[in-house]
Structures are given as structure tokens and as C-alpha cells.
Amino acid sequence: MLQNRRLPRRALVGAAVLLTTLLASAPAQAKIVVGIQDDDVLVYQNYYGRDAGLKVMADTGLGPVRINVPWTRLLVSGQGSRNASQAQRTTYDFTKWDEAVAALTAAGHPAQLAVTGPFPAWATSDGKVGYTNPNAQAFASYARAVAERFKGKVTAISVLNEPNWPTLLRTGRKCQGEAACGTAVGRLYRGLYSRAYSAIKAADPKHKVWIGETTSVARKTTKGYAVAPLAFLRAVLCVNATSTRRSCPGLKADGVAHHPYLLGVDPKKQPPGPDSVTMANLKRLDTALTKFEKLGALKAPKGKLPVYLTEYGFTTNGGSKTVSASRQAAWTIQGLRLAAKGGPRIKQVILYQIADPPNLTPRTWASGMLTGAGAPKPLVQQLPGAIKSLR
């Protein structure tokens, strides 16, 4: 056993200086940024107006804001016509989004956009407003218009919203089974994404473009199959089931966006299926992305692709997935803590809704921090401390 020895004072001072230098040069631990999406409040001001929403955000410590830019809502006219004129197809009213982005930026909340459907009738294969087999070239023109309008004003643009959910993107053709349906819709998304990526970068090479915006688990619905996010990404990237081979050129992205919902379920519970990703198993997404990167199937400009969790929450109204307001607070905060431990790729979590819609029906989604009458739920009171603890 070594005897205790007193180090000379000079040695102690030298050790202290060395330790200070090492700590100063060590990379800071990544922190999770927490933001919000509530288009009804912050964009359309249908109820509980924008200024009131901004105050709630300031009081709770929320940062960035995600905003959907639905193609048909942006068009001034001609959305429902298969024979819309060229002028109708290219005339947009950005007023609501201009005002929202300007107000949010002035208040210190960076905005990120998602270019989404519904798609106009003249851009779908069935000639109806909806989500059936949209034309990639037409979609890219719309994406470029959005990118040009918000050049230098937003932090990122995502392509579509939950394209692996059966009602939000569909091929219009019959497919046999979940795997075949997943492959078909994944290839459809690939065409839309690749065209939109090029169009957005052409408008401004500095624009960040995020891929995915995927929902979390596979399931069979009355409208078709929801594809598990990792299976969907493999289809988009033409990667085989074991992620050992690709059959298409690689795609580029500045980030991967994902919605780690598992409504009505403890966020620590593992989701069903090997290709699902929720807050409970975020490292599964990290593992998959590492494989895609090694294959050259998905490429970041440099380093590893960051992950942005762009929708998350629990609803206190609306069917079997409803939870109590107290449980909503506890599980939301628990989910944030799981995200903070999910690995260095995870950069943010966007909570969904500031305020519930008024006049709730049994089917109304209500994941807000306030009730439809503006009364605070426990989440709005507990969130400030939770956000501080993540930094």
C-alpha cells in the first residue's frame, strides 16, 4: 500500500490549472431544447390569440415553434379544380405565416416550417383535394415558393407531416400487406422529398431541410396500414431489412424529424414491433441512422445527422387514449427526460398545443397546457422547472 504523501504546493497549483484547462476545453454537454406547435393559436388565431400564447411560452420557458404550411391553405384559389389555371396554381397568400414568423422571431422564438398537404386537386392522381399520389414536381414548386418567401427567416423546413400514416400520404393503388404498403408509400415519399430538397436548396442553400416527420409505431387502421418509422425510412432509402445493402442513390438531409408519440401509455413502456420508435427506445433510431450513414443511404453535410422530435404530448380528451391532466403533466415531463438521455443526436422536443380547442367533442384532440376555457392544467405549472432541469 502506498503511503499518503503531501504534494508540494507548486504541484497542487499546477494540477488545478491543468484541471481547469481540461474542463474549459471539454465539449459542453448537449441540452434538449423544448418548443411548441399550436397553429390554431400562433398562426390562425382561431381562439386564445397569439399574444396570449406568446405569454404562456415566455412563462414556461418554451423556445422554438414548429408551423405547418398546408399547400391548399396557402393557395388563394383553384385548390379543388383539376383544371386550375397556371395563375391559380402559383398565387399564394402568405399573410398568416408572415405575421406568425415575424411575431415569433421578434419574441425570440425561432420558427421551423413543415411543407405539408392537403394537396390540391390538380396535383393528385385522383383529381381530388387530399393525399393521393401527389405530383412530385408540382410539390417541389410549392416547396420552393415557401423556401423563397422565408429565406433567412426560419431555422429549417421539413418535408410533409407523418407520411407513414395512411391518411396523410397514399399511393392510390392496392397493396398486399403491411410490408408491400410500406414499401410503396416509402418510395412515393422518396420522390417527393428528393424533389423538394433540391427545390428548397435552390431557393437558398443555407436552408436546413429535415426528412421524416414520421409517426412512431406500426398499426392497421380502417384507412390502411401505418408503417413503422424505421421500416418506412428503409423503404425511402431503398435499404434492405438488415440495413446491409442499398439499391438507390443516397439522399441528403440536414436532420431527421420524428414524432415519438405513444398516446395513453407510460413513456417508459417499450413500443410493439422491432421498427417502432418512441421516447422509450430513442437509441434504436440512433442505431438505424448510424447504419444508414455507413451505407451512404442518408448523408448529413458533416458529422452525424441530428434528430428533432417535432411533436409530442398526451391528450386529456378524445377516446381510449385519454389521460388525466395530472398524468399528462407527469408523463410529458418524463418523456422530456427520456429525450434528454436519448443520445447526442437528440436536439429538441416540440410539444403539441398551447391550449385545447373550446367546445370539446368526444373526438377532439386536447393535448394543450390550458383548457379550452383558458384554465391552466398542471403541465403549465410544472413545465418551467422541468425545462430548467434539462439544461
Segment 117-163, tens digit of pLDDT: 999 999 999 999 999 999 999 999 999 999 999 999 999 999 999 99
Please, what's the largest Cα pairwise distance for the chain?
91
Cis peptide before 118, with omega less than 30 degrees from 0? Answer: yes
Residue 12 corresponds to which amino acid?
Answer: L
Q: How confident is the model at residue 382 (pLDDT cuts 50, 70, 90)?
A: very high
SS3 label, residue 158? strand
Instruction: Delimit the domains of the chain by residue range.
Output: 30-389
Phi and psi at residue 348, in whole multiples of 5°? -155, 160
Q: Is the pLDDT of residue 9 over 70?
A: no
- Judge contact between 251 and 197, C-beta under 8 A: yes
How far does the chain reach from its first CA to its final CA, in angstroms? 42
Q: Is the pLDDT of residue 282 over 90?
A: yes
CA proximity to 348, closest of 310, 302, 391 = 310
For residues 263-287, average pLDDT? 97
For residues 272-288, average pLDDT? 97
For residues 221-229, average pLDDT? 91
| Distance from C-alpha of 157 to C-alpha of 261, rounded to nearest angstrom | 21
CA proximity to 274, closest of 315, 313, 311, 242 = 242
Phi and psi at residue 161, in whole multiples of 5°? -135, 115
Please name the residue that has the C-alpha cell 408491400: 180
Q: What is the pairing mode between strands 65-70 and 111-116?
A: parallel
Q: What is the pLDDT of residue 18?
A: 37
Q: How confident is the model at residue 30 (pLDDT cuts 50, 70, 90)?
A: very low
Q: Name the grid cell of 236.
A: 425511402
The predicted model scores a pTM of 0.91
CA proximity to 261, closest of 285, 274, 280 = 280
Q: What is the pLDDT of residue 176?
A: 75
List pLDDT tens digits, range 34-88. 999 999 999 999 988 999 999 999 999 999 999 999 999 999 999 999 999 999 9
Q: Is the pLDDT of residue 23 over 70?
A: no
CA proximity to 194, closest of 74, 89, 299 = 299
List pLDDT tens digits, range 156-201. 999 999 999 999 999 988 887 778 888 999 999 999 999 999 999 9
Q: How many CB atoms lie within 10 A of CB 9?
A: 8
CA proximity to 34, closest of 347, 342, 354, 306 = 347
Q: Is the pLDDT of residue 91 over 80?
A: yes
E-strand stretches of 282-345: 298-299, 307-312
| Distance from C-alpha of 66 to C-alpha of 350, rounded to nearest angstrom | 7
Q: Is the pLDDT of residue 26 over 70?
A: no
Overall fold of domain 30-389: TIM Barrel (3.20.20)
Q: C-alpha angle 257/260/264, rounded to 5°? A: 155
